[in-house]
Structure 1
């Protein structure tokens, strides 16, 4: 056999072997369960989550629409202060996106908007004249969401006007999170994403997903059937709320967030 023919045969064999491996890997992904497929059983929230310098008081379940979305609210005390930690678990990518859209965007900042890390939404955007002259026939504007409930609305007749609030988005080594100061309550919100850190917008969430799948190790896990390409990863939407008593509210929220963030990342079963 001529050298040219030998190399052609070897090249064809390698090409056939490569295509065969790809087809087998695809079949494995489609036909056999992935080791990281979304869990069918409910997520088990613990009876309590330890937060440094805070005394646990009680907890109650927040009813979700289905097993893909579940919630729990924890209450803590420190001297005369009360801290409320509201957690929502999203079992897969779609549930996580719904949590971003329905929970974070309902608080006043669109979940699809990119904000600068220190951007301030000033309370001056809602003028006193507007609040004072609004009539009962005007459209209703929802208030912020704090501790899992709707608060922050000033009633005027049958209508409600969103109370003046200040919102700021920040970035740290753990990811992005945002503060909301409204009606005597300061809150810290973020969605802990199993694909990497914490996010506050839909764009950040999708960027984490794309970056994850572009990693060689992630591609290898997908091709070998160890992980699904559909993005069946979970998340925890967290909201910490404390009554505004002084300038100490933000440091207290920051400290509590460190503990909750570390605990949350350890619970998510899909790792970067």
Structure 2
């Protein structure tokens, strides 16, 4: 009986030790992940309440990218999306659009947050206003690299993901983003009216895309 108890204890220690070794090795020295060879295919149309779809245009880039166009009450809405699955490329985009790193002035981007969508930024550039955010798996939207990394530690390290990670079916840290840029012109609109329109659209857009985030 004592022998069996000793063997069982040793087996449990070995099993947990192996699990933590694999997790630790993956966290400290993750295998480099290349850009996907078969690009993620964006749907040609995405339903958007109270807006009429006009057209969509795919771009032949290394990073899958598409531009959706909608109209409502003579207002033209553009939504550009990029699917990025490489950590270095994502970090570069975060640095580019981090509101804290932008120029100072009246048109400096503002970082905002909604309970249902997470963080995003709004900005006026010449005669258009923009809303930008990264839709990321299992987590609220983000607009800074620090927010993104915090989400990875908070939402990627879940017990339900342990087996897929150990089997090599999923990466320990999921570095993917669906970058989303919404914009409308300022024709016949005040800046505040334009921001309100974009924030309303963003809520619907996020709620459609987040549960449909691409599988690995």
TM superposition score category, shorter chain reference: 0.7 to 0.9
Contact 1:81 1:242 in 2 (8 A): yes
- The partner residue of 2:38 within 37, 41, 45 is 41
Partner of 2:199: 254
- The partner residue of 1:110 within 77, 82, 101 is 101
- The partner residue of 1:91 within 78, 85, 93 is 85
- The partner residue of 1:172 within 101, 108, 114 is 114
Structure 1 Cα separation of the partners of residues 209 and 151 of structure 2 = 17
- The partner residue of 2:14 within 14, 19, 26 is 19
Alignment of 1:147-158 (within 5 A): none
Contact 2:152 2:174 in 1 (8 A): no
The gaps in structure 2 that reach 5 residues or longer are: 27-34
- The partner residue of 1:238 within 180, 187, 199 is 180
Partner of 1:203: 146
Structure 2 Cα separation of the partners of residues 88 and 54 of structure 1 = 21
Partner of 1:82: 76
Contact 1:176 1:200 in 2 (8 A): yes
- The partner residue of 2:170 within 227, 248, 259 is 227
Higher relative contact order (CA 8 A, sep 6+): 1
Larger C-alpha radius of gyration, 1 or 2? 1
The gaps in structure 1 that reach 5 residues or longer are: 31-37, 112-120, 124-164
Q: How high is the TM-score relative to the length of structure 2?
A: 0.77
Structure 2 Cα separation of the partners of residues 18 and 188 of structure 1 = 50
Given the alignment of the two structures, is residue 51 of structure 1 paired with residue 48 of structure 2, yes or no? yes
Matched residue pairs, number?
202
Contact 1:194 1:270 in 2 (8 A): no
Of Structure 1 and Structure 2, the greater helix share is in 2
What CA deviation, in whole Å up to 9, does each residue of 1:119-173 have, x standing for no partner?
xx641xxxxxxxxxxxxxxxxxxxxxxxxxxxxxxxxxxxxxxxxx142111112
Q: How high is the TM-score relative to the length of structure 1?
A: 0.63
Change in 2 beyond 3 A, CA 1:261/1:24: closer
Q: Indicate the RMSD between aligned Cα atoms, in angstroms.
A: 3.2
Alignment of 1:54-73 (within 5 A): 54-64=51-61, 66=62, 69-73=63-67
Contact 1:234 1:269 in 2 (8 A): no
What CA deviation, in whole Å up to 9, does each residue of 1:204-236 have, x standing for no partner?
01111111244333345434655322x245220
Shift of 1:24: 8.0
